[in-house]
Amino acid sequence: MTETLTWQQEYDLARQNLPTEGVILTSNDPQKMVKLNIVLTEGMPPFIYCLLFLPCIVGQPPKWAARNIDDDTPHGWKGILLSKARDLVIRKHGLSNPVVPVKSIKIVRAGHANDCLLIEINEF
């Protein structure tokens, strides 16, 4: 007999399991693009990241997503763009705008300390 999980159990299970290698994430609003943030620090290469989170809407299946272009909420897991993908974003969009919209991102792997996820662009 297979046990059916409640929504709360599904959410807790998803919360405890970060997205894994190869998972493609879009924003939680299908009409909006994923927001990549560009941080420039003197003496350092540009730091480009997005924020990943698990929307908590009762009744909807829990699914990891990236913050959308209009979402300024400052918390979530950092999805850090790998250097090859970072270079591609810089060539395509430059550095004059601190925000770059993309359609989707792809998880490459967890960071070394498991405190972030390393990502690449899946679709511009």
> In the predicted model, is pLDDT for residue 122 greater than 60?
yes
Phi, psi of 85 (to 5 degrees): -70, -35
pLDDT tens-digit map of 55-71: 988 988 899 999 999 99
> In the predicted model, is pLDDT for residue 114 greater than 90?
no
Q: Can you say how many angstroms the Cα of residue 123 is from the centroid of all Cα atoms in its chain?
A: 13
The answer to whether 53 touches 77, Cβ cutoff 8 Å, is yes
Average pLDDT over residues 90-105: 96
Q: What is the reported pTM? A: 0.89
The answer to whether 64 touches 14, Cβ cutoff 8 Å, is yes
In 3D, which of 107, 38, 103 has the Cα closest to residue 77?
A: 107
Would you tell me how many other CB atoms lie within 10 Å of the CB of residue 86?
20
> In the predicted model, is pLDDT for residue 82 greater than 60?
yes
Q: Which residues pair with 79 in a beta bridge?
A: 50, 117
How many Å apart are CA 79 and CA 55, to the nearest integer? 16
- Residue 1's pLDDT is what? 52
- Residue 2's pLDDT is what? 64
- Residue 59's pLDDT is what? 87
Average pLDDT over residues 27-44: 95
